[in-house]
Amino acid sequence: MTEPAQPQPRFTVETAKVLAEVAHNRQKDKLKRPYREHVLAVGDALADFDDDIRIAGYLHDIAEDTPMTRQALLDMGVSERAVDIIERVTKRLHENPDDYQAGIRYIAEDHDATLVKIADNAHNSLPERVKALAEKWPDKPPVTRYDDARPVLYAAVPVEETRKILARINPWLLKELDDRLDEADDTDYEFLSYDDDPAGVTAAAPGEIPAGETESARD
């Protein structure tokens, strides 16, 4: 009698974290720092989202910087959704890998991939990292492409989701986000009218009961 197939163990967020550490263990970033610190930080920044997004965060560079293939990830139990996110943020798989901004626009077409890329961008834009890169290469503008990418990414997802990520990984970018929102807000507050009250209650003089409201409603 044939033994029934044993269910494959679920690929968890913790498994992804361990795999990321192992896969990037010997790699260094441009500042000669352990690259695993970056991928772990990106995954950690997505803690407010579902498991597929968090797994993709920890493994977002695994197809870029290691021999790991799509099929290998699927065979390990990584979901198709998580693998799709990983592939979308993998630059070498883009139609034109050398066109960074085109790649950002492609990523921004997918909600989940955008969240991962926002976390990636934010960690790469930490003030101390930008300063260190500027000191090491004084003839090059410090990571300006990351600055240019943020408006595209931020516009692709709800602002509160962006806030959650930035608060965890790079709080310094929250002010920049708020400044962008202020610039985009074209409301003329000086001449703002309250005639079209969404609550259906018109303003009343002091001591008067607003139209549509009873004495008991104010108690």
Are 62 and 86 within 8 A, CB to CB? yes
pLDDT of residue 137: 87
Higher pLDDT, 111 or 7: 111
pLDDT of residue 193: 56
pLDDT tens figures, 57-71: 999 999 999 999 999
CA proximity to 120, closest of 156, 90, 93: 90
pLDDT of residue 163: 98
Average pLDDT (89-110) is: 96
User: Is residue 215's pLDDT more than 50?
Assistant: no
Q: Alpha-carbon distance 146 to 23, whole Å?
A: 25
Question: Taking the CB of residue 48, how many other CB atoms lie within 10 A of it?
Answer: 15
pLDDT tens figures, 181-194: 888 766 554 555 55
Q: Alpha-carbon distance 56 to 99, whole Å?
A: 23
pLDDT tens figures, 126-163: 999 999 988 988 887 767 889 999 999 999 999 999 99
Question: Taking the CB of residue 218, how many other CB atoms lie within 10 A of it?
Answer: 8
- pTM confidence score: 0.81
CB within 8 A of 17, min separation 6: which ones?
A: 40, 43, 58
Q: Alpha-carbon distance 53 to 2, whole Å?
A: 37
Structure tokens at 35: 């690259």
pLDDT of residue 140: 78
pLDDT of residue 69: 95
Burial degree of 156 (CB within 10 A; 0-12, 13-18, 19+): buried
Structure tokens at 36: 């695993």
pLDDT of residue 200: 47
pLDDT of residue 51: 98
Higher pLDDT, 185 or 99: 99
CA proximity to 154, closest of 128, 184, 134: 184
Are 132 and 142 within 8 A, CB to CB? no
Average pLDDT (17-40) is: 96
